[in-house]
A = this chain, B = another copy of it.
Amino acid sequence: MKTKRILIDHGSGGLATKELIDELFRPLLSNPWLNRMEDSALIQAPEGKKIAFTTDSYVIDPIFFPGGDIGSLSMHGTINDLAMQGAEPAALSLGLILEEGLLMDELYKIALSLQKVSQQTGIPIVTADTKVVPKGKGDKIFINTSGIGYVKEGIELGSDLAVKGDAVIVSGTIGDHGVAIMGTRAGLGLDITIKSDTAPLHELTHFLLEKFGSSIKCFRDPTRGGLATVLSEIATASQVEIIIEEAAIPIKPQVQSVCDLLGLDPLYLANEGKLIAIVDGSVAKDVLHAMHQTELGKDAALIGTIHHSNKQRTVLQTAIGGKRLLEPLSGEPLPRIC
């Protein structure tokens, strides 16, 4: 690139935009749809499947963090939103809002990260848009990724499908992403070595759906708001009581220590590579065993069960024998976590 930093001109839609695309993005993200450079990408619709469609904007601060960056996070997050509905992710869009002055080297590193996820997952970015805002009117880079995927007939998942006797499984340790981001924030003076868990979950969901079909009621990824908020949403949507065993929740010792030190609750911290599965109680142990055979599910744990009740709520049975109600997140412990 001719300049070291992003200029207002790079958002003009004219020559400078074309140069940015041709020299920085296209060599990395090239595919037949994106290369057409038309107003929208055309994809053959699959017969007899539903289309899943989702969107998410990423405003994480900092844009580079242990375990990932805003590029990988923005692809993983949207892939996961498709996967949670049982969809096979088919294509992503990329909407960039760049702040004037962003270092071209940083943008290049993010583009490399997008390329890496696209190559690893085989999911192309088929349509894209770049805007530039003046210095002080944005913050380096915000990314929107939307995505479409296909859902096979017969697959039905929903937060409202949990019933009495179902089991609650979490695919691995919680709070890693939240603590990793906290470790990058200035002024804490903590020596945190935890990495973000950011990862694409579509292969795990596909594997489980192939194996357990309609015994799987619901997948959710506990991002903003964490495990507690997602569980309360499921309790409300399904009109059930969820009882969780605190001692069964997998938490890395360092995550727990940081939380204890800072007075944070890991159950409310964001995760970017974990899922909660609500499954029929009869297959719970088999699902757990199957998850343990996978890289992303190797620390999976059975953490609770669904109960019938006139109270739609999530109750935590604490390690010391008490009970605590898990309300949805109120306030914002850690802004710009994703």
Q: State whether A84 and B39 are in contact (beta carbons under 8 Å apart), knowing that A12-B225, A51-B51, A54-B127 are contacts in the complex.
A: yes
Instruction: State how many angstroms separate the Cβ of A18 from the closest Cβ of chain B.
Output: 7
Instruction: Give the interface size class of chain A.
Output: 35 or more
| B97/A38 in contact, CB under 8 A | no
| A41/B52 in contact, CB under 8 A | yes
| B40/A53 in contact, CB under 8 A | yes
| B142/A139 in contact, CB under 8 A | no
Closest to A49 in B: B45
| B97/A55 in contact, CB under 8 A | no
Contact with B along A41-53 (1 / 0, CB 8 A): 1111111111111
Grouping DSSP codes into helix (H, G, I), strand (E, B) and loop, the A interface class, with mixed when no group exceeds half, is mixed
| B328/A15 in contact, CB under 8 A | yes
| B330/A42 in contact, CB under 8 A | no
Distance between Cα atoms of A146 and B158 in the complex (Å)? 23
A280 CB-CB contact with B under 8 Å? no
Stretch at the interface among A87-95, A192-200, A297-305, A313-321: A87-95
Stretch at the interface among A63-71, A130-138, A167-175, A206-214: A130-138
Instruction: State how many angstroms separate the Cβ of A60 from the closest Cβ of chain B.
Output: 9
| B332/A8 in contact, CB under 8 A | yes
A223 CB-CB contact with B under 8 Å? yes
A336 CB-CB contact with B under 8 Å? yes
Q: State whether A134 and B335 are in contact (beta carbons under 8 Å apart), knowing that A52-B40, A55-B129, A59-B97 are contacts in the complex.
A: yes
Distance between Cα atoms of A150 and B54 in the complex (Å)? 17
Closest to A158 in B: B38
A154 CB-CB contact with B under 8 Å? no
A144 CB-CB contact with B under 8 Å? yes
| A53/B127 in contact, CB under 8 A | yes
Distance between Cα atoms of A17 and B134 in the complex (Å)? 28
- Residues in B whose Cβ lies below 8 Å from that of A329: 12-15
Integer count of this chain's copies in the complex? 2
Closest to A10 in B: B332
Q: State whether A14 and B330 are in contact (beta carbons under 8 Å apart), knowing that A44-B50, A85-B40, A146-B55 are contacts in the complex.
A: yes
Instruction: State how many angstroms separate the Cβ of A84 from the closest Cβ of chain B.
Output: 4
Distance between Cα atoms of A136 and B134 in the complex (Å)? 12
Closest to A44 in B: B50
Distance between Cα atoms of A9 and B47 in the complex (Å)? 42
Q: State whether A12 and B224 are in contact (beta carbons under 8 Å apart), knowing that A55-B93, A85-B38 are contacts in the complex.
A: yes
Distance between Cα atoms of A306 and B138 in the complex (Å)? 42
Instruction: State how many angstroms separate the Cβ of A325 from the closest Cβ of chain B.
Output: 14
| B54/A93 in contact, CB under 8 A | yes
Q: A14-B331, A40-B85, A59-B138 are in contact. List 4 more A-B contacts (CB 8 A).
A: A13-B224, A17-B224, A134-B336, A137-B138
- Would you list 28 pairs from A and B whose C-beta atoms are within 8 A, ordered by A residue? A9-B331, A11-B224, A12-B225, A12-B335, A13-B224, A13-B225, A13-B229, A14-B328, A15-B328, A17-B225, A36-B158, A38-B159, A39-B81, A40-B54, A42-B85, A45-B45, A45-B46, A45-B150, A54-B93, A54-B127, A55-B93, A55-B129, A57-B96, A59-B138, A127-B146, A131-B142, A133-B336, A136-B136
Question: 4 closest Cβ contacts across the A-B interface?
Answer: A14-B329, A13-B224, A40-B54, A146-B146
